[in-house]
Chain A
Amino acid sequence: MTPQDRKDLFKRGAIWAFILVELAFFSIVGDAISVSDKAFMNVDNMLLLLKQSAPIGIIALGMTIIMINGNIDLSVGATFALAAIVLLDSMTWPFMQSLGNWAIPLAWVFALLTGVALGAINGLIVWKTGVDAFIVTLASMLGFRGLVFMYNGEQPTSHLNWTLVDFAEAQFLGLHTATWFLLGTVLILWLVMTKTVHGRNAYAIGNNREAAVNAGIRVGPHFLLNFMLIGFLAALSAVVFYSESGSVNPNDGMLYELWAITAVVLGGTKLAGGYGSIISTLGGVIAIQLLRKGLGHIGADTQTVNLVIGLILIAVLILDRQLNRKGQEELKI
């Protein structure tokens, strides 16, 4: 094993080691101060944790690809909300109601297509204008959220379909439906990023766009495809979540983009592009969810949880920088 391999293994393993530390910490501390009768590490609790990770998790996986590609997408929270509205509202349309339970897959398709279309808008603007993705998606975040409010004002959009609820609450081999969606997404995106031409090119473009252009890679279409992909995933996240809850508030999904980015960065993906891994993002997602649940378990309130997550994120990034400094050649600031 070369030093390079060791370093790689260490970097990939870091997030999972962190998860183990969290598990140990909350089990021991939870036991010691015994605010709750239940053990933290029980199977039901962990299965629930995975299920609860799914909505942000699916978005974070898409964000990983966007960030590896050297972009960012701030509009995913609004896309999530708009896809949710389409999902629930479309089932109340007269022709859909006549279809019985066939309305469900059709409503899913409508919602997912909404996500893809919104992603395509972002991707086309970034490609064709060359404006930075941060600015483009900041604008589309505001715009898409505007559409959410135009749809139903301040009112929630609701439609409960019991077949759908049953499906969403089902467990297969112990895992909830949402968890299966999360794991399926992980598998497919991992294959895309490690085994396909598109994945390879996404890394190349993110690390050195000029070298990618010189190698004859068409940068714009890759951007477009990735934005459509994250739009699709934001909608998929909405489909998974709202199949069960059946009601969407116009403010739902706010800050999801930031939680997704937090999980991605915690997993070691670089904001600057070119580096990152799907599996590590899954680690980042689980780590954050563990932190929330664990801090709740030992009696901390929401504000404390956010404070701690913020502190941990900064600590992780400082540590990462120390470990990865390339000699003394960097500019001192």
Chain B
Amino acid sequence: MSDQTPVLRLEGIVKTFPGVRALDGVSFSVLPGEVHALMGENGAGKSTLMKVLGGIHAPNEGQIFIAEEPTVMTSPMQAKAKGVVFIHQELSLADELSVAENIFLGELPLKGLGRVDWAKLYADTDAILQTLNVGFDARTRVGDLSIANQQMVEIGRALTVDPRAVIFDEPTASLTDAEKVVLFEVIADLQSRGVGIVYISHRMEEIFKITDRISVLRDGQYRGTLNTAETDEDEVTQLMIGRSLDLSRNESHHQMGDIALEVRGLGCGSLFQDVSFAVRKGEVLGFYGLVGAGRTEIAETIFGLRTPSAGQILLDGQEVHISSPIDALRLGISLVPEDRKSQGLVLSMNCRDNMTLPQVDDLTAGPFVSDGAEVAIFDQYRDKLDIRTPGWRQIVGNLSGGNQQKIVIGKWLSMRPEVLIVDEPTRGIDVGSKSEIHNLIRDLAAQGFAVIVISSEMPEVLHVSDRIVAMHSGRVMREFTSDEVTEDNLIQAISGITEKIA
């Protein structure tokens, strides 16, 4: 294959954002008829790379070549005109429009006086649908289609031009096994027509089934390309995770106290069912599973954001009813949410006001909020968590991700909770801050807090947890102590394979 001209080649791409080097010299190439996997942990730079490729971000350095022709990408539309098309994980379809209108959105065929040429539109669309071998027609309303079929419409969009390269971003995230088979057939068909495919996915099984080569990113750096046939999951994992970050297994065995929080048979509709676990004072309990396994929803239910349909929550052995975050906070349960920007912070406010937000009611002197009391709390937690900011007046939106996350953690710690739930503690945070936050979580447990950590990153879960609860589609599959857990049995548990464990 090496004598072929790559359809797409990236060389030395560098992209920096204030405080972060998101891409640091990334190079790789896609040959015609090849399926090339792009792998890396969350935050490794895959999506930034895709945005550079789609012209949404301009790279600071480096060059993109299409069929060895140096090209500057300015917009996704322009990329498409050059034959580079994207199939996104998030569907971006107009539900109320027909399949045909969606596929040709922005480039509807016209006849005189700006009128849409409907006959041609439907005929062209049906021709595309034919090649995709789907069971719906051009006039179907997109909102009436299943998710899998909507994905087919997205793929149909890519086929309105003669694509040279098609980039699939986590295409199977919401597909059933049967639907995946259809998708893989479409990919094989594109392959046979000489189209180069970039396939982004976390799922090893698929990667080894359909790809020819695997390129790995870690912390924004290109880590190498492997021939799929000559490698195995271990080697890929090694490249992805590396050992630059201290993520050795948690070995500490300090004294633990009584059970702080216990959950018995908790369920919430179809989101999760029959969940039982307990966490002790001084313990870190990790929750691991795929996206959609119900971990975040459990945290939200305990925090009073969702109403449970079954089960009990016990705090210090007493059953409690939590119907809102106000109840949860009063009982000493705090939640550091998954998405700090949309759920955790008021980005337009300064550091101090964000940190004291949940307790500002208690910091008043007469009718007014007491400046001194607020600053005292801020100073205390700034020092404790080593938050780097020019001062409390700094607007939170201008801080780096790691410092923002520390503000959120400080906000909840200053409430002196008994149980602290941290959802994705290090999402979108650079490596250095990650290990600081990991250490912080361990320290909190050592100080006697009961901590629940939800994470999608296996090394992180293994690093911080004393025990790990593995979840799969809304159910607890297995609970591991840190002695008995291995990467293998953890992966098996979250994939829903339990039969082997006798």
Contacts and interface: CB of A to CB of B under 8 A. Distances in A.
Given A4-B398, A197-B360, A197-B364, A214 B369 contact: no
Interface stretch (B191-199, B247-255, B345-353, B378-386): B345-353
Nearest to A218: B326
A204 B349 contact: yes
A203 B348 contact: yes
Nearest to B345: A211
Interface string A175-197: 00000000000000001000111
Contacts of B305: 213-214
Contact of B360 (A191, A200, A208): A200
Interface residues of B, number: 35
Interface of B: 57-58, 75, 303, 305, 324-326, 328-329, 335, 337, 342-349, 353, 357-358, 360-361, 364, 367-369, 390, 393-395, 398, 411
Given A196-B368, A213-B325, A275-B348, 11 more contacts: A195-B369, A200-B353, A200-B360, A201-B360, A204-B353, A207-B347, A208-B347, A211-B343, A214-B303, A214-B305, A216-B325
A191 B366 CA distance: 13
- Looking at chain B's contact residues, the main secondary structure is mixed
Contact of A214 (B58, B325, B361, B393): B325
A2 B361 CA distance: 30
A215 B324 CA distance: 10
Contacts of B329: 216
12 contacts: A196-B367, A200-B369, A203-B349, A207-B346, A211-B342, A213-B305, A213-B325, A214-B325, A214-B337, A215-B357, A216-B328, A328-B57
A211 B345 CA distance: 6
A195 B337 CA distance: 28
Interface residues of A, number: 26
Contact of B75 (A212, A216, A332): A332
A37 interface: no
A217 interface: yes
A204 B396 CA distance: 13
Interface in A210-250: 210-218
A208 B368 contact: no
Contacts of A214: 303, 305, 325, 335, 337, 343-344
A44 interface: no
Nearest to B325: A216
A62 interface: no
A160 B463 CA distance: 80
Given A4-B394, A4-B398, A208 B342 contact: yes
Contacts of B325: 213-216
B344 A211 contact: yes
B395 A4 contact: yes
A2 B364 contact: no
A196 B347 CA distance: 20
A81 to B, nearest CB: 33
